Amino acid sequence: MDYLEIKGGRPLSGEVTISGAKNAALPIIAATILSEEEVTLTNLPNVVDIRTLLKLLTMLGGTVEHHGNIARINNRTISSTKAVYEIVSKMRASILVLGPLLARFGECEVSLPGGCAIGQRPIDLHLKALEAMGAKIEIRGGYVHAEAPNGLKGAKIIFDKVTVGGTENILMAAALAHGTTKIINAAREPEVEQLCEMIAKAGVKIEGIGSDELTIEGTGGKLLEFEETEVIPDRIEAGTYLCAAAITRSSITLNKVNPEHLTASIDKLEAMGCSFDINNDRITIYPAEELRPVNLTTLEYPGFPTDMQAQFMALTVFAKGESIIEERLFENRFMHVSELNRLGADIWLKGNIAAVRGVERLNGAEVMATDLRASSALVLAALVAEGTTNIHRIYHLDRGYDDLEGKLSALGAEITRKKAEK
């Protein structure tokens, strides 16, 4: 099993190009099921989750040509509507095939999902919404069995809480439904917005794109023809590199970013003393002379993203004072705390609130990644820890970061991927 060896204390400099957003690419890939025509997707990140979902399409009978950051997908030949446990258990986002498979074929079986152990993320909201659209759903043998032999029907869907995956699944299902679907309390993330725009360009009338109320006029079963789609930049990857610059007291430039998607992270970094030069799709960060403590609470977009909580926690370890971090979205998303404390951090937990007291230094140690974003927090801490830090279980990192060690090495970090001795 691979691990990362990081020797801390190296300043960063230079430029880094941000990859496409994994969380935008996954629903876009699932949406190609709504078409029998070839769909070209560009700017796909080279991460495990993308390859996993593309493999699922081929297991369903679709054809995929995937080279570099481009994929050509043709789902005319789909012959199976069963998304098997082998794939879905590896990645929660596989549940996104549920809506489009049911809408197109009138029935499907999708394994209950797996993925990062950051907390309960039940799909009951997805299922309740599909039932409101006329689907008959049973859970048997660890699979969701869904049927809508006469097609799905438009409905008014009110989500009890904001759900990104639920919004995406119902959006795709509604695209082929008979009649109009209205989604109340829809997720507003940029990744959801791009999925809306992709489907709208294929001829589906959607009102309210970018808002928390979406109105979708379904095609009544007519399949879609998608234009070539370029995946938006990854705002979480971009935020992670901004934190890498801030924690190493370095100035770097990010290329191919959307600054509007980074407002929450940039605001907090400015509050901590960093400054920025923003020019179209380029951001240069200038580090703080002394990091100030900050309080933050994770919220749905456009609030502070839960996917940046761990990285900012690593950063606040070096702030002069106490920072308070409240995690409101996932109950198990503080598993990186014990590992940061192993490096010498001073973090106290009480329920969903963490108090971080700034320290002067960290010391390298053996640490273990517990989930995707926790992994990146450990990388950030290791960049400034004295001595060598070895980060194990980095398969979490490979799920969501495109060549993290290569990009950091190019910026000046001393980071090496190694294989553990058996």
In whole angstroms, what is the distance from residue 26 CA to residue 18 CA? 17
User: Which secondary structure element, helix H or strand E, spans residue 239, and what is its range?
Assistant: helix 235-247
CA distances 126 to 5, 146, 359, Å, are: 41, 12, 44
In whole angstroms, what is the distance from residue 28 CA to residue 39 CA? 10
Strand 295-297 with 322-326, pairing:
parallel
Q: Which long-range contacts (CB under 8 A, 24 or more apart) does 65-73 make?
A: 69/19, 69/20, 69/42, 69/43, 69/44, 69/45, 70/40, 70/41, 70/42, 70/44, 71/29, 71/40, 71/41, 71/44, 72/38, 72/39, 72/40, 72/41, 73/29, 73/32, 73/38, 73/39, 73/40, 73/41
CB atoms under 10 Å from CB of 61, counted, come to 13
In whole angstroms, what is the distance from residue 151 CA to residue 161 CA? 26
In whole angstroms, what is the distance from residue 43 CA to residue 25 CA? 9
Q: Which of 116, 196, 243, 274 is catalytic?
A: 116
- Contacting residues for 147 by C-beta, under 8 A, at least 6 apart: 102, 106, 107, 135, 136, 137
CB hemisphere CA count around 269 (13 angstroms)? 29
Look up 116 and say whether it is catalytic: yes
Nearest CA to 159 among 142, 143, 171, 149?
171
Alpha helices by DSSP H, 133-232: 164-175, 190-201
In whole angstroms, what is the distance from residue 378 CA to residue 419 CA? 18
Alpha helices by DSSP H, 276-391: 309-316, 337-342, 372-384
In whole angstroms, what is the distance from residue 308 CA to residue 305 CA? 6
CA distances 229 to 38, 103, 406, Å, are: 12, 22, 26
Active site residues: 116
